[in-house]
Structure 1
């Protein structure tokens, strides 16, 4: 009977360990996913910075071409051509700002997903701790057998032997 109790205890230990291990693995996976989201956000920021530099170069070239055309036509850079160049520069800045804004939106989304992933990992770990505790309680309660338990206050001797010890048995009953 002792081996059955030991087997039950071993099964409980395996169940508890498995629940804890599962939670730890889920939390580790969630942390890896969060790190991947953060890396994507960083890559997006670098990509947006590159796009902005490219767009700025393109706008600088277009502005230089427009100035050259205005100068080649013999028109001075004052009045209407200046206003056109200024309007183009403003539109170019709006385009650059839109690129930055969209990048920041994507970065915020990815960072939010990273935070959610970490939170889910913590929830999985907490759930596994409760699951392990439940397995431990179930396993230990299954080991208890009231018929085989130790009782206090009683005697393992026969009633006659108990009376003899307590009252000084004389054998004349």
Structure 2
């Protein structure tokens, strides 16, 4: 009986520790996924910025061509319009960068939170394993203490008379 209790306690302790390690591994995988999403976001934003620059260059070229075709010199008012368009294009590119950076920061924070929760799961599993160990060991009876009479088991002193008080095995010989 004692051996089964020890085996059960060992399995309970081991299970709690394995559970914590598995939770940590899952949290680490989730953190890696968030980091990969952050990298993909950065690449996507770089591509989008390149597309926006190309679009702005085309618009600027078309505006210059239209100004030249109209016979108006590129000075004064047309120049101001072209410069304003260029500034607006630059602001659009900065907005893309800013939005991308916010999304990357969010994903990086989620990765850090995931890693932290994995570490917390390991710590919790250690405490759970310790609790299981203490609980299991407290239920194991020390064989040197022997069994104690229970309410359902009759006392040998009553069965064997007064000589049993001095020698409980006297009536058995």
Unaligned runs of 5+ in 1: 150-158, 161-173
Q: CA deviation at 1:11?
A: 0.1
Name the counterpart of 1:148.
146
Give 2:59's aligned residue: 62
- Aligned residue for 1:148, secondary structure, equals coil
2:13 paired with 1:16: yes
Show the counterpart of 1:86: 83
**How far 1:148 moved relative to its partner?**
2.3
1:48 to 42, 45, 53: 45
Of the three residues 101, 106, 109, the one matched with 2:106 is 109
Quote the residue 2:134 is aligned against.
Answer: 137
**3-state DSSP class of the match of 1:76?**
coil
In the TM superposition, what is the alpha-carbon distance from 1:147 to its structure 2 partner?
A: 3.4
Q: Which residue of 1 aligns with 2:123?
A: 126
Between 133-142 and 64-73, report the one with greater CA deviation: 133-142
Runs (4+) off by over 6 Å: none
Query: In structure 2, how many angstroms separate the alpha carbons of the residues matched to 1:111 and 1:38?
Result: 6
Bigger Cα displacement from structure 2, 99-108 vs 131-140: 131-140
1:141, distance to aligned residue in structure 2 (A): 1.4
Partner residue in 1 for 2:25:
28
RMSD: 1.6
The CA distance in 1 between the partners of 2:32 and 2:75, in whole Å, is 54
Give the SS at the match of 1:144.
coil
**TM-score normalized by the length of structure 1:** 0.83
TM-fit CA distance, 1:144: 3.1
Distance 2:60 2:137 in 1: 81
Distance in 2 separating the partners of 1:6 and 1:80: 95
